[in-house]
Amino acid sequence: MRTGQAVKGMAGALPPSWALRCPKPPLQRVVDLLGAPLRMVVLPDLGSERLGLTSLRCERFAAVLPQMRGRCLDIGAGDNVLLRLYESRGGSSGNIGVDVVDWGGGCVLVPSADRLPFPDASFDTVTFVACLNHIVERAGALAEAHRLLRPGGQVVLTMIGRFLGELGHRLWWYSEDKHRDEVEGETGGLDPAEMITLLHEAGFVNQRQSSFVYGLNRLYIAERTSTR
Ligand SMILES: C[S@@+](CC[C@H](N)C(=O)[O-])C[C@H]1O[C@@H](n2cnc3c(N)ncnc32)[C@H](O)[C@@H]1O
């Protein structure tokens, strides 16, 4: 297990529901555009939300939540907010978040993401939100996600590209990696071509992707084949 210290905004209350509306109301779009430098660079998530700006975490969750179904495993779950949101919106129970650091959200702590203590085909959705770049054993973690998904189940990921990610991690004075031991092999982000290759090599099919936050971040979805 790695050490970390609780980060403001990494544990506690759920984000406000107005920040998760999808699509956003027109006025919120305008406010978010005007406040883009604040919410994208200057302010941590809680600060953005307090000012009425959609935080980056809410942008990610709003993209991922509609894709989640059945029993979910969230890898690199941080403070477990995604699963708490999912359950608060009527998602099924028995969901599990895992992480290598205890951020205080009740995750199962694991030494790495490539060997997880769950039976084969025991989840309908596996999510990796803003974390595959931090998971140095990322190929093994995706193979493990494939093993853990039921046939026809989906893996859902968000990932920023390398250039913006490296830049962002230099600017984001509040980001979680500043509060834990970093590991050699972590990157600021992963480019679409790398994501496609990683997902393909782990055995996933029917890959789809789309962009959000003005094209600066990407949502990836892929399936485990419906035959075993
Ligand atoms: C940027 S945070 C994202 C947290 C959460 N998914 C979210 O969107 O709020 C990256 C997370 O990846 C976790 N992480 C880093 N290395 C990991 C590993 N090898 N296996 C699993 N999680 C890892 C960190 O502890 C952290 O919680």
Helix/strand/coil percentages in the chain, nearest 5: 35, 20, 45
Residue type, 148: L
Read off the DSSP letter of residue 22.
S
CATH of the domain at 36: 3.40.50.150
Please give the distance, rounded to the nearest whole angstrom, from the Cα atom of residue 59 to the centre of ligand 1: 17
For ligand 1, the distance from its centroid to the CA atom of residue 227, given in whole angstroms, is 31
**Nearest-angstrom CA–CA distance, 147 and 150:** 8
> Which one of 80, 126, 134, 142 would you pick to mutate in the ligand 1 pocket, going by the greatest count of ligand atoms within 8 A of its CB?
134
Query: Where in the sequence is the domain holding 64, given as residue range(s)?
Result: 17-223
What pLDDT digit, counting tens, does each position of 165-212 carry?
999 999 999 999 999 888 999 999 999 999 999 999 999 999 999 999
Residue 6 lies in a domain: no
The minimum-distance atom of ligand 1 relative to the CA of 128 is 6
> Which atom of ligand 1 is found nearest the CA of 61?
8
Q: Determine if the pTM surpasses 0.85.
A: yes
In a domain, residue 4? The reply is no
On whether residue 125 sits in a domain, the answer given is yes
Could you tell me if residue 108 is inside a domain? yes
Q: Which of 119, 141, 146, 156 is nearest to 228 (CA)?
A: 146
- Give the model's confidence band at 3: pLDDT under 50 very low, under 70 low, under 90 confident, else very high: low
Q: How large is the average pLDDT for residues 7-18? A: 73
Is residue 149 included in any domain, yes or no?
yes
- Summarised one tens digit per residue, pLDDT across range 49-72 is 999 999 999 999 999 999 999 999
162, exposed or middle or buried, with CB in 10 Å at 0-12, 13-18, 19+? Answer: middle
Does residue 8 register a pLDDT over 90?
A: no
Provide the edge-to-edge strand list for the sheet that holds 108-109. 108-109, 96-99, 72-75, 123-129, 149-160, 217-223, 205-212
Stretch 112-136: mean pLDDT: 98
Q: Whose CA is nearest to atom 14 of ligand 1?
A: 76
Question: Pocket residues for ligand 1 (CB within 6 Å)?
Answer: 57, 60, 75-78, 99-101, 103, 112-113, 129-131, 134-135, 137, 176
Indicate the average pLDDT of the chain: 94
Judge whether residue 48 has pLDDT over 60.
yes
